[in-house]
Structure 1
Amino acid sequence: MGTLFDACADRGAGTRVHLDRPFDISTNADADEAGLGGGRTEHSVVQLAALVRDAAGWLAATGARHGDRVAIVKDNHWDYDLLACAAVRLGAVPAQLSAHLPAETLRTLLGRLEPTLLVTTAGVLERGRGEGVDLASVVPTVLVLDAAVPGAVALDDVRGHTAPRPRRRHDDEPLVIHHTSGTTGVPKLVVHSTRTIIGKLARFETVRYPVIGLRRSDTLVNASAFAHGRTFCWTASAMCLAPRKIVIITGQDPDLADPVLRAHPPTVMEALPASYVCFQPLTERLDNPFRQVRTFVSTYDAMHPPTIRAYLRASRHRGPVWMQGWGQTETGPLTFRFHTRRSLSKGSPGSSTRNLGRPVPVKTRLRVVDTETFQPLPSGQAGLVLARTAACALGYVGEADRWLAKRIGDWWNTGDIAVRHHDGTIELLDREVDHTPRLSCLRTEDVLEDRLPQAVECVVLNSPGEAPLPVVVTGDGELDEDSWQRAVHDLPPLRKPVVLTWEQVPRTGTGKVRRTALLEQLTGRTDTCGSGRWT
């Protein structure tokens, strides 16, 4: 990964990269070329390779060396991965941490990491101080990308330093560290090696599969959370496949994304589930920007049928496909499933998105077991999902016991409750921490979103000894009683719904609902129906 962009440039890759806003690590030359003090929003592969080399020089000038950990915390953008590649080039181990995390959580993670260098922005440090946390005091050296901060190294202090020669490492040594989503508390820090995240995951994506494979003529759009492991893997595969265009969208405001999508209409699109939800109003326009998409890709979180239908309808392609992946930071993708207009038509046998498909062929084995004995269960019975994959990470930083508690021999405990059907497909019900035999939260959310067109999102929360609490997210925070009663007439008993707007729901950096935090916000309770032993 340290020489990825150099290798692609040497191979003559003609990909043009278009950004919705300039990189946070844009150089002075970028700004001068763009004029008016702005930064460049279009890059060639050669220019990206030069930027990675420049960044490696900056990091080396601060004292970062082979074997050091380099923490990166900044606003969401693809230059997270460019900085990570620069650190890898030095032989250091980058740790990509989302700036969306609370300052106290960041302090905890930095304490576990013990990095020699923190790469960040003045805004991140200021937000931390506003929450009563001095992040700069946790790390020996701090490099601030966008301003001069007392006690820290400014980017202008290290510009112009030549990057040392790339340092190789063994395929099984730590390569990169990412954190999990943190929906139930402080995220775990997951360590991957070159073998696991590149050799086993990214390499699998570089095959030009029929129909769904990336083509050289494609315009590939990614609207993601670039601090997470998915995009590090995606960066490797996308650059090697060299589509005509790569378009990066960093925010979830549809009015800001719309002109970028119109200027560069995607043929393949990958986005966070939350981004798809936010951009969904764009699908209703006659000249919607998704007309040319043949493949939509979603990972990270559950997608509900109404959203997927909206995008498949928006495409004018003869047979658009939605590829839904399920996996974890620790394992990468475990299953894939493909949805079409026909398979998601209301009332069809395959219309539920809870069925995640079959394990990735050759790569993954899955087993559903009893939560107490860990003995395999017959088809049709709900239990814990165990996974066996060569892509499993090396461990958790600072939480070895927690990692070992989730290892059962050669199997990894996903902490998810699911049913394995006779045809080998896996139907996801809930996280174990949220699960109750009374109902599946995810299934119920699917039904509610299908029956409430005005709902942007539905969340069902479980508490011991009480009926589940439904939360309905609407554009204006309003929901009429008649619509609600029609939606729940044949469902198990639910409490009176709480109606919120999108901004009122606590979320992770990937847009996932922080269910425990939402439960506490609404009820003052944090106890759940599951044990929470494998969060």
Structure 2
Amino acid sequence: MKPHDMGVLFDECAAQRMGTQVHLDRPFTIGADARTHYTLPQLAALVRDAAGWLTAAGAGPGDRVAIVKDNHWDYDLLACAAVRVGAVPAQLSAHLSGEVLRTLLARLAPALLVTTAQVLERGRREGADLAAAARATLVLDGALPGTLGLDDVRGRTAPGPHRRHDDEPLVIHHTSGTTGVPKLVVHSTRTIIGKLARFESARLPRIGLRRSDTLVNASAFAHGRTFCWTASALSMGPAAISIITTQDPNLADPALRAHPPTVLEALPASFVRFQPLTEGLDNPFRRVRLVISTYDAMHPPTVRAYLRASRHHSPVWLEGWGQTETGPLTFRFHTRRSVHRTSSGTGTRNLGRPVPVKTRLRVVDPDTLRPLPRGRAGLVLARTAARALGYVGEEDRWSAKRHGNWWNTGDIGVRNRDGSIDLLDREVDRTPRLSCLRTEDLLETRLPQALECVVLAEPGRDPLPVVVTADGALDRARWKEAVRDLPPLREPVALTWDQVPRTGTGKVRRGELLHRLTGRSDTSGSGRWT
């Protein structure tokens, strides 16, 4: 089946008698009990129940419903419930600070805020009364003064599914927020389901989902990627879906071993954190035939580790590059053979070619916006029918990134002779002497003890390298050998994983990290297209 109406997605999948079994590494926040196993009919019933709660709390057609909670797949169940009653869900990560959440809620002006006591209490500690931004607040794990609890809304039967036009607002997601307050991106059924999820639902050779697959997803479930993934994954009816909500390898390992994946999708940060689990013959990734990564390009050592861990005769790593505003723009396949060639340091920054028939890309001069010849670095513009409808409360910012039918990604890249794109840097993070991203690839290849390398550009000074290791220590002799043939870099800073500021998807907040280390936050780029 092909997905369309997210309000009845779970009902339609259940009616198709799909036998998909869903396993959770911990219970849902919205579950009535502590279960960690669901069938599709049980999930459909939970979405219908949630739609009744939202109706009882006052949400209806055209209203915005903001959802802020701990990371779990029930973000998407609540979003589908909101769609069912005609509302527009806005999924906001609880990883955001109270100040940022207050700003986003002020832009949304939601009729209903669906959240937890922990989120509200943390907001108040940070000086943000989040409940004040909404007409009503539903607290999922209890009730606080002036709010509703689940006991106040249970038992209400939701009205029949509300139908909306394919071009009306369907869902709102925020961008990663690496450079400041995230943007609120509005998608319609046509853009995020019709143009993205339905395309992803095709049963393509090697990379298409099979009915025999065990699909594991370790993601940030407040973000747009998982809303689209929910539509495509459920409609293809794999044998099992396993949800992992943690980046702690010790907590993830039991869930991975209980349901070993044949198809694995995760955040880049999760791949890095889980990498120690790839070692050993009994590793939980030995059945993997397909790995899917989005959000950020992966460094070569991590890609090699997972492909090497699989016992499948020819596992594939599918890397997609895109943005919340556009969905996937390019894709690239890595195999054991192809990623072995990156051991010399060529990296994985070639993001592949535009999605056939779906997207077009061009590289332009950042100052004049005139097209550049292949091989010249410039701003990457994209053209796709999946482009979102706009930003909530920031119409001027949206207009500034539009150039007719083209969208300014804010990324610096090079178009190669074969049509593929090499990603060099975000425009705001670039430095004239080197590509920070390519340098990070080289450093991670040459420093096996590094969990992650980050090169920060600071105006008027050599770039500042940050090396993330398990214990925050760095062998200086190995460092000198690693940078022997690179452009000048400053003395490295060694940090642990938890010392690095990150977004809810695990991306490094480069500007904040630079400010912590140097006291400066200005960048070499203009930042006009962030």
Q: For the superposition of Structure 1 and Structure 2, which TM-score range results when normalised by the shorter chain?
A: over 0.9
Query: Which one of 406, 425, 430 corresponds to residue 425 of structure 2?
Result: 430
Deviation at 1:346, TM superposition (A): 4.4
**Residue aligned with 1:292, SS:** coil
Letter in 1 for 2:169: P
Letter in 2 for 1:26: G
Q: Spell out the pairing of 1:129-144 with structure 2 (5 A cutoff).
A: 129-144=124-139
Partner of 1:306: 301
- Cα separation, 1, equivalents of 2:419 and 2:345: 14
- Cα separation, 2, equivalents of 1:158 and 1:67: 20
Partner of 1:225: 220
Contact conserved, 1:332 with 1:391, CA < 8 A, in 2?
yes
Deviation at 1:480, TM superposition (A): 1.5
Partner of 1:517: 512
Letter in 2 for 1:241: M
Partner of 1:320: 315
Q: Spell out the pairing of 1:84-103 with structure 2 (5 A cutoff).
A: 84-103=79-98
Partner of 1:294: 289
- Cα separation, 2, equivalents of 1:388 and 1:349: 34
Residue 8 of structure 2 corresponds to residue 8 of structure 1:
no
Residue 403 of structure 2 corresponds to residue 408 of structure 1:
yes
- Cα separation, 1, equivalents of 2:508 and 2:336: 27
- Cα separation, 2, equivalents of 1:163 and 1:134: 29
Deviation at 1:352, TM superposition (A): 2.0
TM-score when normalising by structure 2: 0.98
Query: Which one of 125, 128, 131 corresponds to residue 123 of structure 2?
Result: 128
Deviation at 1:347, TM superposition (A): 5.0
Deviation at 1:133, TM superposition (A): 1.2
Residue 485 of structure 2 corresponds to residue 485 of structure 1:
no
Deviation at 1:286, TM superposition (A): 2.2
Query: Which one of 148, 165, 177 corresponds to residue 153 of structure 1?
Result: 148
Contact conserved, 1:345 with 1:351, CA < 8 A, in 2?
no
Deviation at 1:350, TM superposition (A): 9.6
Contact conserved, 1:202 with 1:237, CA < 8 A, in 2?
yes
- Cα separation, 2, equivalents of 1:331 and 1:71: 22
Residue 76 of structure 2 corresponds to residue 71 of structure 1:
no
Letter in 1 for 2:20: T
Residue 493 of structure 2 corresponds to residue 498 of structure 1:
yes
- Cα separation, 2, equivalents of 1:317 and 1:523: 47
**Residue aligned with 1:24, SS:** coil
**Residue aligned with 2:339, SS:** coil
- Cα separation, 2, equivalents of 1:245 and 1:178: 27
Partner of 2:30: 25
Deviation at 1:285, TM superposition (A): 2.4
**Residue aligned with 1:195, SS:** helix
Identical-pair percentage: 77
Deviation at 1:459, TM superposition (A): 0.1
TM-aligned CA distance change 1:470 to 1:265, over 3 Å: same
Query: Which one of 465, 468, 484 corresponds to residue 463 of structure 2?
Result: 468
Q: Spell out the pairing of 1:105-124 with structure 2 (5 A cutoff).
A: 105-124=100-119
Partner of 2:3: none
- Cα separation, 1, equivalents of 2:35 and 2:280: 30
TM-score when normalising by structure 1: 0.97
* Greater mean alpha carbon deviation, residues 278-287 or residues 448-457: 278-287
Deviation at 1:147, TM superposition (A): 1.1
Contact conserved, 2:289 with 2:314, CA < 8 A, in 1?
yes
Partner of 2:336: 341
Letter in 1 for 2:44: A
**Residue aligned with 1:412, SS:** strand
Partner of 2:384: 389
- Cα separation, 1, equivalents of 2:309 and 2:392: 43
Contact conserved, 2:176 with 2:503, CA < 8 A, in 1?
yes
- Cα separation, 2, equivalents of 1:465 and 1:348: 32
Contact conserved, 1:343 with 1:351, CA < 8 A, in 2?
no
Deviation at 1:349, TM superposition (A): 8.3
- Cα separation, 2, equivalents of 1:349 and 1:103: 44
Unmatched 5+ stretches in structure 1: 32-38
Contact conserved, 1:343 with 1:350, CA < 8 A, in 2?
no
Q: Spell out the pairing of 1:252-267 with structure 2 (5 A cutoff).
A: 252-267=247-262
Letter in 2 for 1:194: T
**Residue aligned with 1:345, SS:** helix
Query: Which one of 156, 161, 165 corresponds to residue 170 of structure 1?
Result: 165
Contact conserved, 2:224 with 2:324, CA < 8 A, in 1?
yes
Letter in 1 for 2:161: P
- Cα separation, 2, equivalents of 1:254 and 1:226: 18
- Cα separation, 1, equivalents of 2:416 and 2:22: 43
Deviation at 1:496, TM superposition (A): 0.3
Query: In the TM superposition, what whole-angstrom CA distance separates every residue of 1:190-222 from its partner, at most 9, and x where no partner exists?
Result: 000000000000000110000111000000000
Contact conserved, 2:268 with 2:296, CA < 8 A, in 1?
yes
Partner of 1:41: 36
Partner of 1:34: none
Residue 269 of structure 2 corresponds to residue 274 of structure 1:
yes
Residue 525 of structure 2 corresponds to residue 530 of structure 1:
yes
**Residue aligned with 2:161, SS:** coil
Partner of 1:216: 211
Query: In the TM superposition, what whole-angstrom CA distance separates every residue of 1:270-295 from its partner, at most 9, and x where no partner exists?
Result: 00000000000000122100000000
Deviation at 1:154, TM superposition (A): 0.4
- Cα separation, 2, equivalents of 1:132 and 1:478: 36
- Cα separation, 1, equivalents of 2:344 and 2:464: 28
Deviation at 1:348, TM superposition (A): 6.6
Deviation at 1:134, TM superposition (A): 1.2
Letter in 2 for 1:453: P
* Greater mean alpha carbon deviation, residues 90-99 or residues 127-136: 127-136
Letter in 2 for 1:4: L
Partner of 1:104: 99
Residue 374 of structure 2 corresponds to residue 379 of structure 1:
yes
- Cα separation, 2, equivalents of 1:436 and 1:229: 30
Query: In the TM superposition, what whole-angstrom CA distance separates every residue of 1:359-383 from its partner, at most 9, and x where no partner exists?
Result: 0000000000000111110011000
**Residue aligned with 2:121, SS:** helix
Residue 425 of structure 2 corresponds to residue 441 of structure 1:
no
Unmatched 5+ stretches in structure 2: 1-5
Contact conserved, 1:68 with 1:92, CA < 8 A, in 2?
yes
Deviation at 1:437, TM superposition (A): 1.9
CA RMSD of aligned residues (A): 0.9
Contact conserved, 1:344 with 1:351, CA < 8 A, in 2?
no
Contact conserved, 1:419 with 1:429, CA < 8 A, in 2?
yes
Contact conserved, 2:66 with 2:112, CA < 8 A, in 1?
yes
